[in-house]
Structure formats: structure tokens, C-alpha cells
Amino acid sequence: MTTTLEKPTALQCACPGCHCTVQADSAVRSGTLLFCSDACATGHPNGEPCHAGCGCDCHG
């Protein structure tokens, strides 16, 4: 019998303006939405970026 390991599916972060991808099993969840970081999941309340130097324009 041969077992095939499935590769996790990469999904788009649900934050508008963010182009990061997330893995469903390790994403930050807010309700039914998946985000790449706590900052994206909370709507960037202080204008902080999702990741240092990632280039996304989703903050502030």
C-alpha cells in the first residue's frame, strides 16, 4: 500500500490589499476568515503592517 501525503493548500489572506498566502492549518482565524497575521485579522487598528518588509499595502 502506498500513502500519498497531501500538500497543504495555500489560500489568500482575507485582508483587503494583502497579497500574502496562508495555510489553513496555521492561519490566524477571525470567524470564518483566514489571515496571515494578527494585524490583518484585527484590521490594522494602529496602521501596523502585517509582516516586516512584505510589501503589502493593507495597513493603515
- pTM comes to 0.80
pLDDT at 19: 94
Q: What is the pLDDT of residues 14-30, one digit of tens each?
A: 999 999 999 989 999 99
Q: Please report, for residues 9, 18, 44, the alpha-carbon distance to residue 55 in angstroms, rounded to integers and kept in the order given.
A: 22, 9, 15
Q: Under DSSP, is residue 58 helix (H, G, I), strand (E, B) or coil?
A: coil
C-alpha span between 3 and 5 (Å, rounded): 6
Report the DSSP pairing between strands 10-12 and 21-23.
antiparallel
DSSP characters for 2-33? ---PPPPPEEE-SSTT---EEETTTSEEETTE
pLDDT at 3: 63
